[in-house]
Amino acid sequence: MLFLIANSLDDEARTVDSFASSMGQLLESLDGFFVEEAKAARRLLMRFNFDRLRDKPMISCDKDTTDFTEHLLHLKRGERWGLISACGLPCIADPGSALVRLARKEGFGVEATVGPSSIFIALMLSGFYSQQFTFAGYFPKQIDRSIRKKGLFIYIERPYHNKQTLDALFEVLEPEDEVCLAIGLMTPSQHVVTEKVKWLRIHADSLPLKKNPAVFLINIL
Out of 4-13, 23-32, 118-127, 197-206, which region has the weakest mean confidence (pLDDT)? 4-13
- The CATH number that domain 118-220 falls under is 3.30.950.10
Whether the predicted pLDDT of 118 surpasses 90 = yes
- The CATH number that domain 2-112 falls under is 3.40.1010.10
Q: Between 114 and 207, name the one with better pLDDT.
A: 207
How is the chain split into domains, by residue range? 2-112, 118-220
* 115 contacts 6 by C-beta, under 8 angstroms: yes
Strand segments, DSSP code E, in the chain are 2-5, 32-35, 58-60, 81-84, 110-112, 134-138, 151-157, 178-183, 191-196, 214-220
pLDDT single digits (tens) 134-175: 999 999 989 999 999 999 999 999 888 999 999 999 999 999
Q: Would you call 181 exposed, middle or buried from its count of C-beta atoms within 10 A (0-12, 13-18, 19+)?
A: buried
H helices of 54-211, where? 69-76, 97-105, 118-126, 162-172, 197-203
pLDDT single digits (tens) 167-196: 999 999 999 999 999 999 988 889 999 999
Which pLDDT band, with edges at 50, 70 and 90, does 14 fall under?
very low
Pairing relationship of beta strands 191-196 and 178-183 according to DSSP bridges? antiparallel
Query: What are the φ/ψ torsions at residue 216 (nearest 5 degrees)?
Result: -105, 125
Q: What is the pLDDT of residue 43?
A: 87
pLDDT single digits (tens) 207-220: 999 889 999 999 99
| Residues paired with 190 in a beta bridge | none
Q: What is the pLDDT of residue 53?
A: 81
pLDDT single digits (tens) 120-133: 999 999 999 999 99
Query: Which value, to the nearest 10 degrees, does the dihedral of the CA atoms of residues 152, 156, 159, 162 take?
Result: -30
Which pLDDT band, with edges at 50, 70 and 90, does 17 fall under?
low
Q: What is the pLDDT of residue 97?
A: 95
Nearest residue to 14 (alpha-carbon basis) of 40, 51, 46: 46
What size, in residues, is the chain? Answer: 221
Q: What is the pLDDT of residue 115?
A: 85
Q: How far apart are CA 130 and CA 120, in angstroms?
A: 10
pLDDT single digits (tens) 50-108: 677 888 999 999 999 999 999 999 999 999 999 999 989 999 988 999 999 999 999 99
Q: How far apart are CA 153 and CA 137, in angstroms?
A: 9
